[in-house]
Amino acid sequence: MLTDHQPLPIQIPVRKIAIVRALHLGDLLLAVPAMRALRKRFPEAEITLVGLPWAVEFVRRFSAYVDRWVEFPGFPGMLEVEANWERTKRFLKESRAYGYDLAVQMHGDGSISNKFTVLLGARLTVGFQKPGTRSPRGMHTLPYPEGSKEVLKHLKLVQTLGASPEDHTLEFPLRSSDFDELGQILEVSELEREKVVVINPGARPPARRWRPEHFACLADRLVAEHGVRVVLCGGKGEENLSQAVKAAMRSEALDLSGKTSIGCLGALLSKAKLAILNDSGPAHMAVALGIPSVALFGAADPQRWAPIDQTINRIIYKGVDCSPCPHWVCPVDHRCMNRITVEEVLSVARELLANTNTLEPQGTQRPQREL
């Protein structure tokens, strides 16, 4: 096992790299700094992401850092895809024939994913190892840093390969087509004339969702006090959450839930004065775009998932006796989210709206490239 500051001597040419991270939007956005550092370290190498089906769009958008996408086939114990051993065997055979020089495991603590990653057959494999477990033979591992920021964790991993760990800024490149798509839904110039607040009441795990009636009360207060225009958003399958918020509101709101692609959502967020969201992929996107935001944390550990710089990207978190927790649905009374009050969120929102033009994130915000 490697120590935190022990560089790994690389004595082979690195022409093909595989990154294993078969996860969702927020998870991949937090890995972008490590991918960027890896590209800088190996500028001529072809970098492949082994990811979920949706991630083909991520690779197109982040083509500066990732060249190729292959679909994760599933593996026993990795819950993102149902395991099918015959499919997995075919995939691993194809991967070994492809001939990766380097495989980097960025999928969790390595207790299961290390086994999958080493079976890709790369000449050199690196990843994290959970304390108390054994790493596969021939794999170079770092101790899994419990409690570390997700961004910094993976920068530390690629540092063992000689990459620079210094640039931890997030980014989300926008395309002109993203704004074209947004313009087909509504008049973009209309957004530019108004003080827009984007609210995303969704999150994949229900355990991370604030109650729709709380979002509705908050939205009404912001409209009454600040004259904002509220735009509700969410992914496919989350339309009922936005509809519940809108139905409980006394004021008007524009509901775009289920109507935007990832890029279109980025274009919408870029027009906002403020975003208020549950801990979710769009919350990390707001950070990447440099948009002032309030993220509501419940089940997940903010020590790991919250923004590094919280100057304009604030969080609200009520640590309770059972948090953080791994549950998809809260088995008790959802106390971590229910203890967040409308007044608390409103107070932070007021401050951010009042200081939109004066607050700046600490350090350099990476400019967003238009593709």
- What whole-number distance in Å separates Cα of residue 194 and Cα of residue 223? 12
pLDDT mean over 245-256? 96
Whether 242 is in a domain gets the answer yes
190 and 126 within one domain: no
In a shared domain, residues 46 and 124:
yes
CATH code at position 44: 3.40.50.2000
pLDDT tens digits along 156-197: 999 999 999 999 999 999 999 999 999 998 876 677 768 999
**251 and 146 in one domain?**
no
Question: Tokens 């007021």 correspond to what residue?
Answer: 350
**Among 197, 172, 193, residue whose Cα is nearest residue 267:** 172
Residue 365 lies in a domain: no
Q: State yes or no: pLDDT of 289 exceeds 90.
A: yes
User: Nearest 5°: CA angle at 19, between 14 and 21?
Assistant: 175
Let me know whether 294 and 340 are in one domain.
yes
Name the domain count of the chain: 2
Does residue 340 share a domain with residue 282? yes
- Give residue 362's pLDDT: 47
Considering the domain boundaries, does residue 214 fall inside one?
yes
Residue of 263, 265, 272, 316 lying closest to 290 (CA atoms): 272
Domain boundary among 159, 190, 211: 159
Q: What is the pLDDT of residues 117-132, one digit of tens each?
A: 999 999 999 999 988 8
Report the mean per-residue pLDDT for the chain. Answer: 92
Same domain assignment for residues 91 and 190 = no
Higher pLDDT, 146 or 191: 146
Asked if residue 324 has a cis previous peptide bond (ω within 30° of 0), the answer is yes
Average pLDDT for 63-84: 96
Same domain, 218 and 83: no
Give yes or no for a contact between 219 and 245, defined as CB atoms under 8 angstroms apart. Answer: yes
Lowest-pLDDT choice from 15-19, 67-71, 299-303: 299-303
pLDDT at position 367, please? 44
Residues 322, 184 share a domain:
yes
Model confidence band, residue 133 (pLDDT cutoffs 50, 70, 90):
confident
Judged by average pLDDT, the poorest of 149-163, 248-262, 293-307, 325-339 is 325-339
Indicate the residue type of 179. Answer: F
Containing domain of residue 121, as a range?
Answer: 16-159
Asked if residue 148 and residue 191 are part of one domain, the reply reads no
User: Residues 93, 211: one domain?
Assistant: no
Contact between 294 and 348 (Cβ < 8 Å): yes
**pLDDT score for 344:** 97
Asked if residue 367 belongs to a domain, the reply is no
Question: Do 26 and 54 sit in the same domain of this protein?
Answer: yes
> Which residue among 127, 159, 191 closes a domain?
159
Across 248-318, the runs of DSSP E, i.e. the strands, are 254-255, 274-278, 293-297, 313-317
Please check whether residues 212 and 288 belong to one and the same domain. yes
Which tokens go with 48? 């492949």
- State how far the Cα of 22 lies from the Cα of 51, in Å rounded to an integer: 4
Q: What are phi and psi of 22, to 5 degrees?
A: -90, 70
CA dihedral sign of residues 250, 198, 272, 353: positive
